[in-house]
C-alpha cells in the first residue's frame, strides 16, 4: 500500500489515495496497524482521500485506535496540500467532502512555495445536543460555558464546543504540567456525560489574542496539535470573555491562527507538511498490530 506521511503542526497522519489503492475491508484494523508508533508507520491516525460527487475530493478519517473521526482540521489542511501536490488540483479554494459536509481550503503562497493552508471550519455547535453532552440541570438550549463536571468527587470547570466533533475546554494557569493532561484528559474523554466521548483541551490564556494549549484527543491520546481543538479553544475563550475573536494558538507542534468571524464561521490557518512517502505491507503483518493500542 502506497502512503504519504504528513503533519499539520505535529498532528501527523498516514494519507492513502483511494484512486490508486485497494484496501482491506477492515479499515479500523488497518488504522491501528499503520498508526502504531513502534510496529507500524507511526501516526495519530489514518486518512483516506478519494473521489467525491459533490466536491474536489472526499476525506475519511480514522483515529489511532481505529475509531472513525468526524472532523480533523490539521488533516483537512494536509489533504488540500496533498491534492495540489499529488493530484495536480490547482483550484483555490479546494472543496473537500467530510463527514460534517463540504469544507473549503485555501492554499496560501510565499512566492512559489505553499506556506500555509486556511480552512473555513464552519460554525461551532454550542447547544448540548450538538456536542453531544448530557448534564443534568442545564438548559438544553443554552451553551455550556464554564460549567462543573464532576470527576471522582471534584468539580472540573469545562466549556463545551462542537466543531463537527466534541470538545471540552479546561482553562488552566499553566500548560506546562503534562501529568494533568495525561491523567485528567482520559477521565474527561470517557466521562459518562459524553455519549460519544470527547476531545479535551487544556488552555492557558497569555493575552486576549494569544494562548497556549495541550490536547488529549479522543481515540489518540495526547497529540502535538489539534486543529478543531484550537478552533474550539478560541470559541470557548471568546464566550468566556477571555479572548478576542482572533488569536494565535501555540501548541507543542506549532502555531495555528484562528478567527471566529462576526459572520459566525471559524477560520483556521497553519502548516501542512509532507514528511515522507513509502510502502506498507498489507500481507504477512504481525497479528498483534491489528489489536487495540
- Cβ proximity of 186 and 180 under 8 Å: no
**Straight-line distance from the first to the last Cα atom of the chain, in angstroms, rounded to the nearest whole number:** 21
| Active-site entry in 72, 78, 175, 231 | 72
Phi, psi of 194 (to 5 degrees): -110, 100
Sign of CA dihedral 6, 12, 14, 18: negative
Please name the residues in contact with 40: beta carbons below 8 A apart, sequence gap of 6 or more. Answer: 32, 33, 34, 280, 289
| Active-site annotation holder among 78, 175, 226, 231 | 226
- What distance lies between CA 184 and its chain's CA centroid? 19
What whole-number distance in Å separates Cα of residue 15 and Cα of residue 268?
Answer: 21
> For residue 110, what is the enclosing H or E element?
strand 101-110
Closest to 259 in 3D by CA, of 165, 131, 121: 121
Length of the chain: 293
**Residues whose CB falls within 8 Å of the CB of residue 210, separated by 6 or more in sequence, listed in order:** 247, 248, 250
Half-sphere exposure of 97 (CA within 13 A, CB side): 11
Task: Specify whether 226 is catalytic.
Answer: yes
Q: Is 72 a catalytic residue?
A: yes
Chain-centroid distance of CA 8 in Å reads: 10
Q: Grid coordinates standing for 258?
A: 484562528
Residue pair 233/250 in contact (Cβ under 8 Å)? The answer is no
Query: Which residue numbers are catalytic?
Result: 72, 226
Amino acid at each position: 500500500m502506497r502512503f504519504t506521511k504528513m503533519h499539520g503542526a505535529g498532528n501527523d497522519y498516514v494519507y492513502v489515495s483511494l484512486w490508486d489503492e485497494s484496501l482491506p475491508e477492515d479499515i479500523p484494523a488497518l488504522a491501528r496497524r499503520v498508526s502504531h508508533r513502534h510496529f507500524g508507520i507511526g501516526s495519530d491516525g489514518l486518512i483516506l482521500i478519494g473521489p467525491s460527487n459533490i466536491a474536489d475530493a472526499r476525506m475519511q478519517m480514522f483515529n489511532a485506535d481505529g475509531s472513525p473521526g468526524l472532523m480533523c482540521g490539521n488533516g483537512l489542511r494536509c489533504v488540500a496540500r496533498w491534492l495540489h501536490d499529488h493530484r495536480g488540483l490547482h483550484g483555490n479554494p479546494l472543496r473537500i467532502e467530510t463527514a460534517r459536509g463540504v469544507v473549503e481550503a485555501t492554499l496560501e503562497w510565499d512566492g512559489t512555495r505553499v506556506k500555509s493552508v486556511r480552512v473555513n471550519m464552519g460554525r461551532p455547535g454550542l447547544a448540548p445536543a450538538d456536542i453531544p453532552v448530557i448534564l443534568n440541570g442545564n438548559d438544553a438550549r443554552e451553551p455550556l460555558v464554564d460549567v462543573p463536571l464532576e470527576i471522582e468527587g471534584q468539580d472540573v470547570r469545562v466549556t463545551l464546543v462542537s466543531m463537527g466533533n466534541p470538545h471540552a475546554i479546561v482553562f488552566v494557569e499553566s500548560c506546562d504540567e503534562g501529568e494533568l493532561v495525561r491523567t485528567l484528559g482520559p477521565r474527561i474523554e470517557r466521562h459518562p456525560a459524553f455519549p460519544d466521548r470527547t476531545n479535551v483541551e487544556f488552555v492557558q490564556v497569555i493575552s486576549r489574542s494569544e494562548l497556549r494549549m495541550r490536547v488529549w484527543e479522543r481515540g489518540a491520546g495526547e497529540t502535538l496539535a489539534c486543529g478543531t481543538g484550537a478552533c474550539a479553544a478560541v470559541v470557548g475563550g471568546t464566550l468566556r470573555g477571555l479572548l478576542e475573536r482572533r488569536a494565535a494558538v501555540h501548541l507543542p507542534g506549532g502555531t495555528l491562527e484562528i478567527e471566529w468571524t462576526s459572520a459566525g464561521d471559524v477560520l483556521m490557518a497553519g502548516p501542512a507538511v509532507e514528511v515522507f512517502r513509502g510502502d506498507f505491507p498489507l500481507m504477512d503483518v504481525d497479528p498483534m498490530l491489528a489489536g487495540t493500542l
